[in-house]
Structure 1
Amino acid sequence: MILGVIADDFTGATDVAGMLVQSGLRTVQVIGVPQGPAPDADAVVVALKSRTAPAAAAVRESLAALRWLRAAGARQFYFKVCSTFDSTPAGNIGPVAEALMAELDAEFAIACPAFPENGRTVFRGHLFVGDELLSDSGMRDHPLTPMRDANLVRVLQAQSRGKVGLLRYDTVAHGPAAIRERCAALRAGGVTLAVADAIDNDDLRALAEACAEQPLITAGSGVALGLPAAYASRGWLRPDASAASLPAVGGAAAVLSGSCSTATNAQVLHWLQSGRPGFRVDALALAAEAPVADEALAWARERLAAGPVMVYATSAPQDVKAVQSALGVERAGQLVERCLAQVASALADSGVRRFVVAGGETSGAVVQALGVSTLRIGVTIDPGVPWTQAEGRPLLLALKSGNFGSIDFFSKALSQVN
């Protein structure tokens, strides 16, 4: 193993794993901190559900993942965070990054969530989503981690003990040697974490080359784009052209959507307006103990023979706020996740072998309900979202971050696999 990745949610884990595979790294994703020996792979991604956990719990789980990866022989470590830097003033990006650095005796690390292919760029320390500042994008209304400040230096400093600095674009644009020199200067000036600017893939490759021998990288999936080439240039690996191959599995297909992001709302609407079947899960009905999961299953089983079905809890921001006001944020989310996980398990028993799942929390609940512990990473559907296969089982999963994917993502994904 060359690279050990600690991802703070399940879709983020498949996002970075897909980036590594498309560049030729044989990559395996494991669910939660493993207990046994490491799988045979160049990179192992440990998928945690720590993004919205209390900071102390997130630190504890992340350190356990680091220790397992370190014992398995990884040369470098990567803390995968969301490309929209989802967090709160209390964490968890700062506390986890600093805990990992302390464990590794690392004095310095970059933090770069940029993913230009999906419209996430960082300039002068400010995160843009497309042409908008993060604080002006749909992320400002995220139900769990609303992001109302685009200044990542300020965001990260609020949750970090050490000094946070900025690796500016005018340095990044001059390439790896300039980046290394500036990182050394920042470190000498007492900076322990530096937000790195990046506006295109060349910037990401330059950052990867410059930081390939640092103990820790904190980033979205974008920086991973350049790591396989950086490792190959050092003679650490030979890229594998067949790294993304997965078998056909047959069987029925289903879409499960719990995300309420702007992108997923549009994707669900496109699916329904295209005449495809969808069953809406009502969180208030779940709270009233209505048999929503049973109703969804009965509805889906009647239609599976005719083609893919969708079961969704995706709602507009104003509807989400109304439900959260009535039930509380945590309870509303748990009710929906539990319902969709129950539906996924029963659909698998009914012969569904291809699942497309939207939302990080939903993906985590579904994967756990299906009893999946290891995923092989396959071809990319859209930037940041690959198909995966449950190790040793005829089961394919596409785990989509709520913010990712084209408007026709669901149908596009299912058209790629059999």
Structure 2
Amino acid sequence: MQTIMGVIADDLTGGMETASMFVALGVGCGFVTRPELVASSAPEPVMVVAQKTRVIPAADATRQCASAAEALLGAGARQLFFKYCATFDSTDEGNIGPVTDRLLEMVGEDRTLFCPTAPAAGRTVYNGHLFVGSELVSDSPKRFDPLTPMTDPDLVRVLQRQTRAKVGFLPHRLVRHGGEPLRGYVEEAGGRGVKYWIADAIYDEDLAALATLAADWRLVTGNSPIVQHFPPLWRERGWLDSAPRKQALPAIKSPGIVLAGSCAERTLEQLAAFEQQRPVLRIDIASADGPEAAIGESLAWARQNLVSGPVAIATSAAPDGVSAAQARLGREGAAKFAEEILSRLAGALHEMGVRRFVVAGGETSGAVVERLGIDRLRIGAYQGPGVARATTEGDDPIGLCLKSGKLGPVGMFLPTLESMRRAEI
């Protein structure tokens, strides 16, 4: 079986969501966190390599993503998909532009698509501008992001600052109709040197038109929803069996916990909803004495409270709390401090018998998975933005829901942990 699409995800939450969408459509999908594992994995139509590259230095992100691309192309992938966040999380240094530059060079193409739209999550692009619901991204809470604040809604400008390639955009009037007018527009502008295309997209039908446009391109980039429109095109081409595949997950009966590092508004709302039913321990990074003290106190608290049901431990904070932590530790220092605490807690909680984890935040998820020594996952079916399950292999599986800080229903934490107690067939 040849790999049709190789997915390179810039964090684990996005990689998990993308994989879960394929699983929900009955498409076999492998998931690893290290490129060298691709060669030893069972062949599947889709293979996801999810790494923690979103906010590391651009040169390091480019190197790691190139390594993933090399492994996926070596496995015969017809097409690469570079997955990043719906809010185009990046800075003027990257990492979206530099990584794409390298991947496009590797596949030998002269054009690619940028499609961050996620209609179900209210992330859309119109006239090249990114919206979060009815707000421009620059007016949304995303402008306060501690690592990748988005203060410019014009994605053509944002991307052009990250790359030397000429950036254009596909207007909605053309995307809406698709077909030959859209292809002709790309071909004509490509003759004038445009290589990168920011795509207007508002509705799922727009994503379908864009998938049709790029079905035979060697590289596509964007957020996960567009991938749902590729399998029907693969079946039309005879690349994919028509019979859907099922991927079962085992039931896990152990204690469960939420670990939240995201400072997104949605994560704060989810913690508040969870706290109405179960205890939440909030760690104040701005005033914590150090990781050892914070971890020790948190474990003692968890031992006492886990006996009666799931609990949550969070370093999440509102913008004023984030500012205080950054003033004390620096922007990167505050983030690293939080990741160290939560990842080490995950390891200690696992030793205490915890096997069900909901982890909120892409960077936190990467740190937790690394601490737990997980490098392969069996992914369950997509259940909505930010909601999907996964388990490790073996006789003592760990259940995971790795979710973007910005996504998921407000009341998702407790039901998601409870769902892990049941097998998913």
Same fold by TM-score greater than 0.5: yes
Q: In the comparison of the two structures, how many residue pairs are matched?
A: 417
Q: Could you tell me how far apart the structure 2 residues matched to 1:181 and 1:12 are? A: 32
Q: Which deviations, in whole Å up to 9, do the C-alpha atoms of 1:370-403 show, x marking residues without a partner?
A: 1100111102243243111113351111001010
Determine the structure 2 residue equivalent to 1:105: 108
Residue 34 of structure 1: which of 32, 36, 39 is its match?
Answer: 36
The offset of 1:282, in angstroms, is: 2.3
Determine the structure 1 residue equivalent to 2:231: 228
User: CA 1:239 to 1:135, structure 2 compared with 1: closer, same or farther past 3 Å?
Assistant: farther
Answer whether contact 1:381 1:413 (CA < 8 A) is retained.
no
The offset of 1:223, in angstroms, is: 1.1
SS in 2 for 1:147: coil
Same amino acid, percent of matched pairs: 44
Q: Could you tell me how far apart the structure 1 residues matched to 2:166 and 2:30 are? A: 34
Alignment map for 1:126-145 (pairs within 5 Å): 126-145=129-148
User: CA 1:152 to 1:239, structure 2 compared with 1: closer, same or farther past 3 Å?
Assistant: farther
The offset of 1:38, in angstroms, is: 3.0
Determine the structure 1 residue equivalent to 2:334: 332
Residue 345 of structure 2: which of 331, 343, 365 is its match?
Answer: 343
The offset of 1:178, in angstroms, is: 3.3
Determine the structure 1 residue equivalent to 2:356: 354
Q: Could you tell me how far apart the structure 2 residues matched to 1:290 and 1:401 are? A: 27
Determine the structure 1 residue equivalent to 2:207: 204
Q: Could you tell me how far apart the structure 1 residues matched to 2:309 and 2:291 are? A: 30
The letter for the 1-side match of 2:311 is V
User: CA 1:24 to 1:131, structure 2 compared with 1: closer, same or farther past 3 Å?
Assistant: same
Residue 324 of structure 2: which of 322, 325, 328 is its match?
Answer: 322
Q: Which deviations, in whole Å up to 9, do the C-alpha atoms of 1:244-279 show, x marking residues without a partner?
A: 43121221111000000011111111111x131111
Determine the structure 2 residue equivalent to 1:193: 196
Residue 69 of structure 1: which of 59, 68, 72 is its match?
Answer: 72
Answer whether contact 2:21 2:381 (CA < 8 A) is retained.
no
The letter for the 1-side match of 2:65 is S
Answer whether contact 2:286 2:324 (CA < 8 A) is retained.
no
Alignment map for 1:4-403 (pairs within 5 Å): 4-35=6-37, 36-238=39-241, 241-272=244-275, 274-288=276-290, 291-392=293-394, 393-403=396-406
The letter for the 2-side match of 1:59 is T
SS in 2 for 1:379: coil
Answer whether contact 1:10 1:49 (CA < 8 A) is retained.
yes
Q: Which deviations, in whole Å up to 9, do the C-alpha atoms of 1:37-65 show, x marking residues without a partner?
A: 23332211111111111111111111110
SS in 2 for 1:194: strand
Q: Could you tell me how far apart the structure 1 residues matched to 2:96 and 2:261 are? A: 24
Answer whether contact 2:27 2:245 (CA < 8 A) is retained.
no
Q: Could you tell me how far apart the structure 1 residues matched to 2:413 and 2:407 are? A: 11
Q: Could you tell me how far apart the structure 2 residues matched to 1:236 and 1:328 are? A: 50
Q: Could you tell me how far apart the structure 2 residues matched to 1:172 and 1:257 are? A: 38
Residue 414 of structure 1: which of 396, 413, 417 is its match?
Answer: 417
Answer whether contact 2:123 2:131 (CA < 8 A) is retained.
yes
Q: Could you tell me how far apart the structure 1 residues matched to 2:40 and 2:349 are? A: 31
**TM-score with structure 2 length normalisation?**
0.95
Q: Could you tell me how far apart the structure 2 residues matched to 1:80 and 1:41 are? A: 18
Q: Could you tell me how far apart the structure 2 residues matched to 1:209 and 1:391 are? A: 36
> 5+ residue gaps in structure 2?
none
Answer whether contact 1:243 1:378 (CA < 8 A) is retained.
no
The offset of 1:242, in angstroms, is: 4.3
| More displaced stretch, 161-170 vs 18-27 | 18-27
Q: Could you tell me how far apart the structure 1 residues matched to 2:199 and 2:290 are? A: 47
| More displaced stretch, 372-381 vs 354-363 | 372-381
User: CA 1:75 to 1:384, structure 2 compared with 1: closer, same or farther past 3 Å?
Assistant: farther
User: CA 1:14 to 1:256, structure 2 compared with 1: closer, same or farther past 3 Å?
Assistant: same
Q: Could you tell me how far apart the structure 1 residues matched to 2:359 and 2:179 are? A: 37
SS in 2 for 1:382: coil
The letter for the 1-side match of 2:241 is R
The letter for the 1-side match of 2:9 is A
User: CA 1:317 to 1:202, structure 2 compared with 1: closer, same or farther past 3 Å?
Assistant: same
Q: Could you tell me how far apart the structure 2 residues matched to 1:262 and 1:400 are? A: 14
User: CA 1:289 to 1:10, structure 2 compared with 1: closer, same or farther past 3 Å?
Assistant: closer
The letter for the 2-side match of 1:316 is A
SS in 2 for 1:414: helix
> 5+ residue gaps in structure 1?
none
**TM-score with structure 1 length normalisation?**
0.96
The offset of 1:113, in angstroms, is: 0.3
Answer whether contact 1:37 1:72 (CA < 8 A) is retained.
no
User: CA 1:287 to 1:193, structure 2 compared with 1: closer, same or farther past 3 Å?
Assistant: farther
The offset of 1:286, in angstroms, is: 4.0
Q: Could you tell me how far apart the structure 2 residues matched to 1:396 and 1:182 are? A: 47
Answer whether contact 2:23 2:246 (CA < 8 A) is retained.
yes
The offset of 1:87, in angstroms, is: 0.3
Q: Could you tell me how far apart the structure 2 residues matched to 1:331 and 1:407 are? A: 29
The letter for the 1-side match of 2:411 is D
